[in-house]
A = this chain, B = another copy of it.
Amino acid sequence: MKQTDTKTLILDTAQDLIQRLGVNGMSYQDISEVVGIRKASIHTHFPKKDDLLVALLGRYSDRVLRVVDGIIATSDEPEVKLRQYCGLFEATLSSGSQDKVCLYAIVGAELVTLNHPLGEQVRHFYRENEARLLFILEQGRATGDFRFTGESQATAALIFSLLEGGMLIARANGGIVQFQQVVEQLIQLLKG
């Protein structure tokens, strides 16, 4: 297994910084100070900042969706699957440096300032997550775990909006405890 090469170190650092400061709040200089190389050297690995962002968003999306697919593939009850899915977001909120939110929550807020194809990557991540939530919800309705009325698709969008927004709100006010309570309340509402 390859050790953490410089390219990976740059991506890891950039991800941490963006999850706290946003794309427009992070610079190559910030990365260089953490990684321990000069900012000019970063351009060797990612010539343009957009090159770095494309790679970073792709890696993050791939990782998350792979884990989510793993959760869905289990034989656990739908409620357990949903709790595990929400747990991914909760883990992000408390991992590594403080004040971190989902990468795609903060990048989504900066959507209008992004160049192609970054906006499309954001849309793709949102759609893929909602599709997986839809699957869990319909499975839960079939088993009787969930008893809510209305459209499953709208409920999937509701949950995803809630999780992404919840991280931003919790970071500013209430912290991880409030986030956990919100998730628990969501489960209660879905169980009717």
| B158 touching A186, Cβ below 8 Å | yes
A149 interfacial by beta-carbon distance below 8 Å: yes
Binds B, one of A52-60, A63-71, A170-178: A170-178
| B173 touching A154, Cβ below 8 Å | no
28 contacts across the A-B interface (CB closer than 8 A):
A21-B113, A22-B113, A25-B112, A25-B113, A105-B109, A108-B168, A108-B169, A109-B109, A123-B172, A126-B169, A126-B174, A127-B173, A150-B189, A154-B181, A155-B189, A157-B166, A157-B169, A157-B182, A157-B185, A158-B186, A158-B189, A161-B162, A161-B165, A161-B168, A161-B170, A162-B165, A164-B169, A165-B166
- A22-B110, A164-B169 known, 16 other contacts, Cβ within 8 Å: A21-B110, A22-B22, A106-B109, A109-B110, A109-B168, A111-B171, A123-B172, A126-B172, A148-B188, A154-B185, A157-B181, A160-B165, A163-B165, A164-B168, A165-B168, A165-B169
